[in-house]
Amino acid sequence: MPGTDGQARRRELLEAIRQSPGDWTTRRAHRFYRANGWDVTSTVARTDLKGLVTEGRLIAAGPDNGRVFRLSFPAHPSNGGWQTPSLNPPSGTRRTHRPR
């Protein structure tokens, strides 16, 4: 199947991003692929990153010539829509602002 290699490659990239969160550029993804035996171009790395954005697993930030990709954390409903769940369960009163 032609899509199997691409899916495995993207899964590997996503796992690497989870293990080393922060800003991932096309160049960093391309270097990761090359270091792990994937003989792909930077265009393929960019397409994979954009695909992970489309799937909602990453977010893209910055201009086209300096774009970075970061992990996307979906809003957590038990936490009033914040991106990460709080350590303390809600006590009946919801915060309407972020604490400082």
Give residue 85's pLDDT. Answer: 43
Whole-prediction pTM value? 0.70
The answer as to whether 15 is a domain residue is yes
Query: Total structural domains in the chain?
Result: 1
Amino acid letter, residue 16:
A
Please state, for a pLDDT cut of 70, what percent of the chain lies above it: 70
Give residue 97's pLDDT. Answer: 57
Residue 79 or 54, more confident: 54
Contact 67, 55 (CB under 8 A): no
Tally DSSP H helices, then E strands, for the chain.
3, 2
1-5, 48-52, 81-85: the lowest-pLDDT one:
81-85
Residue 52 lies in domain: 2-71
The answer as to whether 40 is a domain residue is yes
The answer as to whether 87 is a domain residue is no
